[in-house]
Amino acid sequence: SENVDDVSVMMGTPANKALLDTTGFWHDDFNDATPNDICVTIRSEAADAGIAQAIMQQLEEALKQLAQGSGSSQALTQVRRWDSACQKLPDASLALISVAGEYAAELANQALDRNLNVMMFSDNVTLEDEIQLKSRAREKGLLVMGPDCGTSMIAGTPLAFANVMPEGNIGVIGASGTGIQELCSQIALAGEGITHAIGLGGRDLSREVGGISALTALEMLSADEKS
């Protein structure tokens, strides 16, 4: 609708709620939202309840289509096992993990077994598991982004909460997803572009973790001729 300026639709995870707050889409009703709830914000100068109703109807229809398998997800190949996934994408170099935190570390180790870099969108992973995963990845010459890594842009591909950015020669590394997005936006506004934007997760630069992934990311960007 021409009366709608912006719409935000996100699950009510802690990371998403923090993003809603920093991007100006927060509403106090979201305080009670759980990871199983959908948070919808509509930004409009027109105080018209009909606008909200129309958008909610469109959202419900889209969710219904996805549930029935008639939405855009129909074009995606769905697999349930690592072996099947690796057969479908034998040249894959990265696995994005988004499961409940109690299962994330085990899956990340399985990805490292297959020499895959890892982006862990999952949070609620123990500090001990994070250190183990990142230390093991570094020994193998691989990178673990996260846990609780919500933003990365690798070789022009936006992962999780990220934007399509112009290509350039600037490499970005950050522990804050919103910080990465803001910096990349400013780079684009200045007429430049990026090669990769590598998220670390909020604890990587802590004393306990010691910047294991930050060091690996720096080495990878230094070895990248385009950065």
**One digit per residue, pLDDT tens: the chain, 227 residues?**
567 888 888 888 888 899 899 988 999 999 999 888 899 998 887 777 788 888 888 888 887 876 666 444 445 677 888 888 989 999 999 999 999 899 999 999 999 999 999 999 999 999 999 999 999 999 999 999 999 999 999 999 999 988 889 999 999 999 999 999 999 999 999 999 999 999 999 999 999 999 999 999 999 999 999 99
The encoded tokens of residue 144 equal: 């673990």
**Backbone angle region of 56, left / alpha / beta, with phi > 0 → left and psi within -120 to 50 → alpha:** alpha
- Specify which residues 117 forms β-bridges with: 94
User: What does the domain layout of the chain look like in residue ranges?
Assistant: 4-74, 82-223
How many Å apart are CA 34 and CA 49, to the nearest integer? Answer: 25
Q: Are 104 and 120 within 8 A, CB to CB?
A: yes
- Amino acid identity, position 213: S
- Specify which residues 119 forms β-bridges with: 96, 145
How many Å apart are CA 200 and CA 66, to the nearest integer? Answer: 31
Q: Which CATH number is correct for 82-223, 3.30.160, 1.10.1740, 3.40.50, 2.40.50?
A: 3.40.50
Q: How many residues does the chain have?
A: 227
